[in-house]
Amino acid sequence: MNFHKARYEMKELIILRSLNTRIALTEKESSYYWNLEKGFQGEQKFDGLLETLSGNYLILNDLLLEINNSTFQIDSTLIFKDTIYLVEVKNYEGDSYLEGDRWINKNTKKERKNPILQLKRSESLFRQLMKELNYNSPIESYLVFINPNFYLYHAPMDPSIILPPHINRFIDKISLKPPNLTDKHLKFAQKLRSLHLNNSSFMQLPTYNYDHLEKGITCPGCHTLISEVKNSKLICESCGCSEDVTSAVLRSAKELSILFPEKSITVNTLHEWCKIIKSKKTIRRILVKNYKLIKLGKSSHYVCPQKES
Ligand SMILES: [Zn+2]
């Protein structure tokens, strides 16, 4: 039995990443963006560890759920035969300590939202949701600190907190879980996936408009703007990453559609957006080959075939 809700980069992260390159974000916006970026990297790292698990389990990533008008998000939900694991992954760095319920960064002395309380809240809401769906299973919830450079002073003797040196032991523990998932488990996983909220109203984005954004193609590796095209390849001066023109143009077209869903993709708009590709013919050739041409009277634009379905 294999069932997997993949982890996609959130729309919010994709937009903020692009804005970070194309406009000057305020300090607050920029720190919010970098937190998302770091969080996503941490989750990917955790996914990599789970890949080593063999056996039978269902995994749902980044569920955003709602019960009794309260929404909650879970980084990884693992459904095993006799247990459900709710895992919150934190990519914190540096030293923190706890003062009662207050979670404090040791260097800056700034308090941050206590992730233990956040985890307990999610667990309680998940329990209520399970009850409503008539599903019974023990739940264990965990807070996994994935970054080896994180240290928590006065860490409570709470088995739900998995600090970096204990992650492998944690993975070993869940790998020993019995297999034999049944239809009941799969149906529950499908139900959870169907309840996942795809709600963009949770996005915290600065206001932005097309004219104020710097145009050009960003590097897929380090997200800076590319300044060199050589032999049909875009080469990043900052990180050395290279990508062929077609893939870079298609990536940029997708980025433009995510930032401005109302904007039609035409040869002219994409030519202006990509900026570094001087030839309109190249843009047209790529669009003709990969997008579908829609003619409306005298004007025409292109749509991405995946988007249409
Ligand atoms: Zn780069």
The model's pLDDT over 206-261, given as tens digits with 9 standing for 90+, comes to 999 999 999 999 999 999 999 989 989 999 999 999 999 999 999 999 999 999 99
Query: What's the 9 CA to ligand 1 centre distance in angstroms?
Result: 18
Residue 204's alpha-carbon distances to 15, 68, 148, 188, in angstroms, are 10, 23, 29, 31
Give the distance (Å) from ligand 1 centre to CA of residue 213.
Answer: 19
* pTM for this entry: 0.82
Tokens representing residue 93 in the block:
């760095």
| Contact between residue 82 and residue 137 where contact means Cβ atoms under 8 Å apart | yes
What is the 8-class DSSP label of residue 9?
A: P
In angstroms, how far apart are the furthest CA atoms of the chain? 70
One-letter amino acid identity for 36?
A: L
Listed residues 183, 202, 221: the one ending a domain: 202
Structure confidence at residue 269 as a pLDDT band (50, 70, 90): very high
Please report the pLDDT score of residue 264 as a whole number.
93
Question: What's the gap in Å between 43 CA and the centre of ligand 1?
Answer: 22
Same domain membership, residue 74 and residue 47: yes
Compute, in angstroms, the gap from residue 229 CA to the centroid of ligand 1: 13
Q: For residues 113 and 14, state if they share a domain.
A: yes
Q: Which of 264, 261, 260 is CA-nearest to residue 287?
A: 264
Based on the domain organization, do 149 and 250 belong to the same domain? no
> Does residue 163 share a domain with residue 100?
yes
Q: Residues with Cβ < 8 Å from 231, sequence gap 6 or more?
A: none
Å from CA of 181 to ligand 1 middle: 44
Q: Which domain holds residue 121?
A: 2-202
Joined tokens for residue 297: 């009277």
d(CA 123, CA 138): 11
- Between the CA of 147 and the centroid of ligand 1 the distance, in Å, is 24
Q: Within this chain, do residues 197 and 215 fall inside the same structural domain, yes or no?
A: no
Domain holding 251: CATH number? 1.10.10
From the CA of 60, how far away is ligand 1's center (Å)? 31
Q: Indicate the pLDDT class of residue 70, thresholds 50, 70 and 90.
A: very high
Residues 15 and 138 in one domain: yes
The reply to whether 217 and 294 lie within a common domain is yes
178 pLDDT above the threshold of 80: no
**Do 270 and 192 share a structural domain?**
no
> Ligand 1 mean position to 170 CA, how many Å?
35
Determine the distance separating the centroid of ligand 1 and the alpha carbon of 125, expressed in angstroms.
Answer: 41
Give the domain-ending residue among 173, 202, 231: 202
Residue 1 binned pLDDT confidence (cut-offs 50, 70, 90): very low
Centroid of ligand 1 to alpha carbon of 239 (angstroms): 4
Q: What is the CATH number of the domain that holds 91?
A: 3.40.91
The enclosing H or E element of 45 equals helix 27-50
Instruction: Return the C-alpha torsion angle 199, 201, 206, 210, nearest 10.
Output: 70
Q: Rounded mean pLDDT of the chain?
A: 91
**Helix or strand holding residue 230 (H, E):** strand 228-230
For residue 174, which of 95, 82, 252, 248 has the smallest C-alpha distance?
A: 82
d(C-alpha 80, C-alpha 78), whole Å: 6
Distance in Å, CA 244 to ligand 1 centroid: 14
* SS3 at position 112: strand
Instruction: Give 224 Cα–ligand 1 centroid separation in angstroms.
Output: 6
Q: Which pLDDT band holds residue 308 (cuts at 50, 70, 90)?
A: very low
Domain final residue pick, 175, 202, 229: 202
DSSP label at residue 262: T
Reported confidence tier of residue 181, pLDDT bands at 50, 70, 90: confident
Of 52-61, 119-128, 146-155, 287-296, minimum mean pLDDT range: 52-61
- Is-contact 155 163, C-beta < 8 A? yes
Q: Does residue 168 share a domain with residue 48? A: yes
Question: Measured in angstroms, how far is the CA atom of residue 216 from the centroid of ligand 1?
Answer: 13
- b/e per residue 50-80 (b: at least 16 CB within 10 A): beeeeebbbbbbbbebebeeeebebbbbbbb
249 CA distance to ligand 1 middle (Å) = 16
CA of 218 to the centre of ligand 1 (A): 8
Same domain, 53 and 185: yes
Task: Examine the domain organization and report whether 227 and 197 are in the same domain.
Answer: no
| pLDDT average, residue stretch 11-36 | 95
pLDDT reading at 4 higher than 80: no
**Does the pLDDT of residue 6 top 80, yes or no?**
no
Residue 235 Cα to ligand 1 middle (Å): 8
**Torsion angle, alpha carbons of 30, 35, 37, 43, to 10:** -170
What is the three-class DSSP state of 308?
helix
Number of compact structural domains in the chain: 2
At a CB cut-off of 8 Å and minimum separation 6, what does 268 contact?
280
Identify the band that residue 3 occupies on the pLDDT scale cut at 50, 70 and 90. low
**Ligand 1 centre from 51 Cα, in Å?**
28
- Quick one: 24 and 167 in the same domain? yes
Give 232's DSSP letter.
T
Average of per-residue pLDDT across 105-132 = 93
Ligand 1: centre distance to CA 236 (Å): 5
How many angstroms separate the alpha carbon of residue 226 from the centre of ligand 1?
7
